[in-house]
Structure 1
């Protein structure tokens, strides 16, 4: 007992026995909990695997259907003979090995249908579907936004995705592709999860067993599992998916509890045997270690202390072939491994794992060093364009590959002293002004390095970047500020669709002012900061003001009057345009009612945004506001821009028709600057066209503008529409437009927009002058 060897050995024996006893007791106590946890984990994992793969099939079908619908080849044969369409449709089907493919015409007829039959010899047969030539039985799906549907055909259930086939703004039909939900799919999940899988469907309150990996599957058993009723001898989990219209799709995954418990018991005995062997080996090892550990132990302790201090240069050399000598060798190897890992950790902390380029840490250190050395430099902040489109279309693997190719090409730019990858699609190039290179020349070199196409699997991908540039010491002497300035310049370049932008103080001012306006606009209505001005519209035949346009003005408490161009776009982007438009409508209609009581009979026009046309209750709001103010519908004009109609023509035309049926006047604002075609204009339920001021302001000296305006007036009159010309700023334009038959005129020559009281006084004065002239 007095020897160190004996004491060490007994210490190890007691310690091992104590540890093993505690571990064994803990494992015994936790065996039941482990069994339940294992079952729960297995069921949860099985359900997760099914959900992810089922959703993956859905997304893959949806993406492929959308891609196929954009194929010009299938559009060319869509309305040709059925044979050509079937051939083109089958080519697309084979790309994803779909089990069902359909083409549906615009009137809902199934013009092409291919169905894959799975034969007993594991082969497949493609044949025409039984519904070919018949009416598609789920026409409501054609306008639905749902990505996935369940489709029953000849007793077979398919997971189906549809995509509209469009030519221009017209939908000429739909394409649909589907995967069969069958025994093969159920067996696939059985192989992954080791649980039997049943697929059931509730159709018209009747449950059907669609497919199962279990030859003895029972519909009532599967239905009970889906409803959460599991027999005691089974482990099971069910899922009821109700997102498919009026159908309920059920999944039942189950297995015998005895099989799981048996497996756990086998693992338990294996663990006991392993524990016994480990204990025996540990005791033997303890005895051997105790016999030889005393002599070199001090050297090992000393070496450990040196490693703790970070000294990895010294090594232990023991002329000993025993385990302790090997331990010394392993200690040396461990020392080298620690050093290697530290170097790897340091490298990883300072480099991007995708491109192996220096990251932000290295960049900040380099910037601080350049600033400390007062070395003039420029930061080029690069943003790779359209990477999001590549990720969404081809996948993130292709996006990562594209980032790596960008890094490879940027590495070849020898003028720059540092290239960093900040992550995602952002790079930083550091140029020290030791050589004379203009910014234009450097940007050109960057674009030249990236201009060659990248070929990925036969797809040519073009590398393009936006660049923001900041400089030291011109802009700042702080690393973070310089990075922020370069980023601000980059955002401005992206916003204005420019290749590059050098930082300027005004960019920060605009950003701060815009941010303040976004925050302040939320309180503009509640704090009564908004006001309506009215600009008259003159009847060019009678020279009498018959109409007025309501124009909103924002009187900011600190910034003063803010023009509409500065905040209308913000309101549309931040979702505040709906409340803003409703305030304008309510205020304008109320003022119209006040004017009528004062015997001022005038039509009031208000501007409507594209977002307003998407509101489900906007029509009811307009009608209720008219009724509340007792304003006749024919005394109100809604001015809608072309782009507002182009965004969603079908719903917009339907809503505008309801307004027209009510008696409200509809005007197309800023005509000539949008994208509507004559065919679309013909379909719009409007009363008048409003010619944009850009065509009117220079009528006196621009013959082309006169030709455009004259043609527009003739076109409108031929279509039964009246015309309003805005931007009248001289007597020539007023008289010329009147001569061309333009009904109404608006512009600074007639009157600028006026506040309500000033406009009321002005209109009364005009009426008096009109009476006196009469």
Structure 2
């Protein structure tokens, strides 16, 4: 105990010191960020200073250019010369402008003056001294801009770059109305260099590609750059296309940087002092603020591990911030786990589509009602009801319309029944209703009321749906005294009502002889089992981590002598009822092992999953039978996987606790099939040796359109992973569902988006050619 206390104390001291070091590191980072921010503010201020000076320079040049334009416009012969395009006269006008500027000692020195007509076509040009230029005007791009604007009603100015020289150019209208234009071109280089003397800071001019145009002799050398602040401003200038001249100025910031360094050192010193004080105080309060609270959390965790009923119980502790946060997170975690388990309980008892009790909860309430009726010597009624023409609606209008129809039916039924009554969805379009403390007369009245309630058409989107209803009624104790008998006889009465078209019917013993189709099918099934008229199809299961097939599931079909290929829903319930399913299971195991051996002979080591029925779980010699089959085929238990439905677990819970661990110990991998449709207690999930759960296809089908289904899938995945189980999603029929499951960390998927069920030969070809391929760890294993 002393060692544990010392270890905890030592860990806390190390943690506190590490947190202090982290805090100092954060202070250093903050100081660095502050320094960079301050430097950037200084640089931004210097950039703004450059921008203002450049704008002032341009404004000054614009004003001076206007003065030159006014000088030209005042010439008495200008208008006539423009009208006649007299180049010689206009040349004299321009020479006069040069003289005017020289006499007034103008602050700008034009290097070129040009005159254009009203369409901005050149007429005359002059250089200083009255010489006509021997080339086109500089900054021709500005003339092009004026032409595109169909003239310049006011001053239009800009910069251009010619032979590494920067020029300012302005185009101004002459006369009222405009009879022509004057272009003034000024060498901007001198104005930019003058900024150096005006600011006292060295100047550098360059192109954006780094080509140097000018660099002050006072520009700092590279060794001095660490204490120098350089600010750059991009000045528009045109060559053949738009470009920029970078105007850069440098300022010595040695004193500013020294001040920042002193501030940083002071902050670090204060932070270190505070950290030392914090460590001393923390060590003094360690026992009270850390060890005791952590011990309380550990004790609560031990209680939760022993008994899940302690989930959600809060642990109130006081201590340092880390311990309090840990306790808060621990309490939130146990609360969320409590909610997770509560959601699982709700999922197990509620139909996700209609929010009615499901088959499991209904059977539980039926048994409770039987027990109460037996104690109080009272009767009750059980209704089994299904919808006529529901399959036609599903096939014609789609499952989404069928789902909404079932929801509306559920709402109407709930609205007409008493609070003490129970209405449940048994599956598909079948509902069950339990009416406590009623006799035959009351049951007849209730059935008529429900038929009348459902007779009104259902309005779904643009569809006005009229569905019929058939209700079968069994009374306790007249028609049975146990749940199985009552349910079976209410079902018989329902089929009798459907065949007679009378809406509802009470059970009559004579009804059991009025099912020649079922009796004939039972006889044919006996012959089918004897003659092995069944065939196995195999559907691949892909692991999302590798996108490769990891196993396949064997699916049985009946090749009826009529040529029809029957699905299990048609014949498995009858086989279960007669006990013939045990013979079918033996045949499936034999065929599966034979196929597995054939695959391995081809180097394709793929486990094959088979389904166990309730009757299989009732067989005390099932494990020995599997051992014999393995010996006959010289096979390993790893060749096949065993899938058990939730309903089978519920029906044979005691037997499962004995049988499944034996099968697991033999080496079989066991999965829960159709997870979410029945009731798997948390105790069974933890006690039984399950390797994975298979989420039922009904939830996957609604994954993208039903938030409840999405929640059920997400909760199932989280619960399985928390218990160390893998998750296989059944019924993945499109890429969107696959993508959503991948995002939810689902382990494996199965459905027609991967592959339809395949015969053995088709499976071999698929494994060889499919892009899903074969999981690399399965190839060559035995």
TM-score range, shorter chain: 0.3 to 0.5
TM-score (norm 2): 0.36
Bigger relative contact order, structure 1 or 2, given CA contacts below 8 A and separation 6+? 2
